Structure 1
């Protein structure tokens, strides 16, 4: 009886391992397809928001506009190379549309009461970047 139980357990574990390995192969194929799509899309540049396809994710957009400095967003407690800081997000107005642009990371000042100085962009500029649509809204 112990031998049959051991044999059944072994067969079950082999079947489970085979299923998990097949799952990993499928994930690798999906990742490869996603990478090819990302490379293809990032090579195509659009100059007007209305000319983008229905799914604009990862396409390159090249637009003229201006940053809205008054509505800067600082995401706190962001770690970069072992240092604490902020991710800087600025609204960008172009073609009567609003885009939230990630300008990158800034180191936190020495004291928490201080905020980092954000670069100011007063003149209209040409902005080129990849479009990313978040899966969900910002969660605090």
Structure 2
């Protein structure tokens, strides 16, 4: 009786092809957003559904409604006395908040299109808009 090998040549080729395809897909996803123009990105802060601040993610100058103060390249925005949002070096984060859980602070820094920081008790939302999204809603 002839012994049949458990792994055949075609199985090895199939595995190598799938591995190569996965590596190519990873490279496309990884490098797609690296050359994105961050100057086109805008920070939008809304409070209770109303737009409070709109400004560039990169430029440290005043936003549309001249809200906040600039110290060096760091822009600090006081949001209704409840939250303090900072824009610096192409990133946005919630530096302080008077809400009890402080979850908005622990959400960290955001820098890509579609990312948000939300403070539910103070009804404050920080969103980055503009540019081209690196991923779709499912892949995030």
Same topology, TM > 0.5: no
TM-score (norm 2): 0.37
TM-score (norm 1): 0.37
Larger Rg: 1
